[in-house]
Amino acid sequence: MTATATRVLVLNSGSSSVKYQLLDMKPDPVGGSTAGTRLAVGLVERIGEETSRLAHTPLATGGDKRETEGPIADHEAALKAVAAELSADGLGLDSPQLAAIGHRVVHGGLKFTAPTVIDDAVLKEIERLVPVAPLHNPANITGIRTAQALRPDLPQVAVFDTAFHTTMPEYAARYAIDVETADAHRIRRYGFHGTSHAYVSRKTAELLGKDPSEVNVIVLHLGNGASASAVAGGRCVDTSMGLTPLEGLVMGTRSGDIDPAVTFHLKRVAGMSEDDVDVLLNKKSGLVGLCGDNDMREIRRRIDEGDERARLAFDIYIHRLKKYIGAYTAVLGRVDAVAFTAGVGENAAPVRAAAVAGLEEMGLAVDADLNAVRSGEPRLISPEYARVAVAVVPTDEELEIAQQTYALVNA
Ligand code: ADP
């Protein structure tokens, strides 16, 4: 890597999509540290279909978003199309300014506790984890292989969704099932969204003017997927997702916590197959299962019109959230802040208000005026008197991946 190589390409490869961002990590000449400047962002979706779509925004040149539609056969073709878009803006992947490519990898198991430069052994280990992340790791591997073929000389770094949660104590990570069976099949609670929980908990400490080591934070990542984490002094001590991202909070289409006997019942009594149950719990449950919508804006609109099913779905969502706030308050002993993040957490003021309503005895309250403010900046929404700070902290997983990648290749 040359001294001028300060750019990082972040790739988030899904089964039929690739999200990407090119960031410049050049240190700020005044402050010394880098906030990371976004040069380009984009998305390729519906890979493998006739109607693939590439949307590319060249932020560096201030150009407009460019959208192209047409078949993109596979991830290799997708990445080549992205490379061509970047080249058109003078930001080509062949540039000596590109320092590394950072990949989001969903499952890192127990082995990967930190970002890791990818070599054959690392790739093999990510492959070994496919049985515990069948939907995600194969796509991540394809993304890595494709990027390696494009720039074999460049460091490729894996940043794992699970890494931040590897500090969970054994009593929080282990399910209370037969130990031999669990260990033989690597069944334990891994947790996900770790990059977001790491970023948001650190940003929350910053917002409070403290070092992360000094504060205990409950992070509520409420997107389409949703998870909570308890972070003590910068280290994760519990999180709501488990072996897979199905456990925990009510999500857009996932049930979250459920009695596992429901699955036996669905098979034995309702005659459903293994795959039917999988699809039911992952895709047809949560908010969508409860009321037919998973977009919180639509649910709030329906509630305003007096829709009872939307109301009940909202109440179930909030009830689960409250239970986790209570549980993690007990886990942490002392809570300095509760931070809301991701699509719902950052935008849905009624969710934030309802989640802490009635929790004044626990030191939690939301100021209605502060809660109503719309902003892309981290901010406090609790009243002065509240013992626990309630914050809205926009997440930025791509920036976190770029920072971790850049730090690693410069170490
Ligand atoms: P993902 O898990 O797909 O990354 P996001 O973090 O982008 O999800 O969150 C997407 C969800 O955020 C949407 O399904 C919607 O429920 C919610 N959302 C986005 N904008 C708003 C808004 N203005 N008000 C309420 N909810 C919103």
**For residue range 178-219, what is the model confidence (pLDDT) as tens digits?**
999 999 999 999 999 999 999 999 999 999 999 999 999 999
Active site residues: 161
Contact 13, 142 (CB under 8 A): yes
Tokens linked to 388: 């626990």
**Is 195 among the domain residues?**
no
Domain boundary among 160, 190, 220: 160
Residue position matching structure tokens 């991701």: 342
Provide the whole-model pTM: 0.94
Residues 121 and 218 in one domain: no
**pLDDT tens figures, 334-392:** 999 999 999 999 999 999 999 999 999 999 999 999 999 999 999 999 999 999 999 99
- Say what angle helices 296-304 and 308-332 make with each other, to 10 degrees: 120
83: enclosing H helix or E strand = helix 75-88
- 219 and 355 together in one domain: yes
CATH assignment at residue 334: 3.30.420.40
| 171 within domain boundaries | no
237 and 316 share a domain? yes
Residue in 199, 291, 297, 341 to alter for ligand 1 test, most ligand atoms within 8 A of Cβ: 297
Phi then psi for residue 328, to 5 deg, are -75, -25
Is 357 contained in some domain? yes
170 part of a folded domain: no
Q: Which of 199, 347, 374 to mutate to test the pocket of ligand 1 (most atoms within 8 A of CB)?
A: 347
245 vs 8: CA distance, rounded Å: 28
Percent of the chain topping pLDDT 70: 98
Any residues with Cβ below 6 Å from ligand 1, and which? 223-225, 252, 294-297, 342-344, 347-348
The reply to whether 407 falls in a domain is no
Q: Are residues 154 and 230 in the same domain?
A: no
Q: Are residues 25 and 156 in the same domain?
A: yes
Q: Edge to edge, what strands does the sheet with 66-69 contain?
A: 66-69, 53-57, 37-45, 18-24, 7-13, 98-105, 156-160, 116-117
Q: Which residue has the tokens 């006997």?
A: 261
Structural domain that includes position 59: 7-160
CB 228 within 8 A of CB 324: yes
Same domain, 235 and 338: yes
Q: Are residues 229 and 358 in the same domain?
A: yes
Residues 227, 137, single domain; the answer is no
Same domain, 156 and 221: no
% of the chain with per-residue pLDDT over 90: 89
* pLDDT tops 80 at residue 1: no
Distance between Cα 180 and ligand 1 center (Å): 40
In a domain, 372, yes or no: yes
Q: Specify whether 141 is located in the same domain as 218.
A: no
Do 116 and 213 have their domain in common? no
Mean of the per-residue pLDDT values of the chain? 94
Distance CA 49, CA 62 (A): 30
Element (H, E) at 292: none
Residue-wise pLDDT for 141-164, tens only, equals: 999 999 999 999 999 999 999 999
Q: What is the number of the ligand 1 atom nearest to the C-alpha of 297?
A: 25
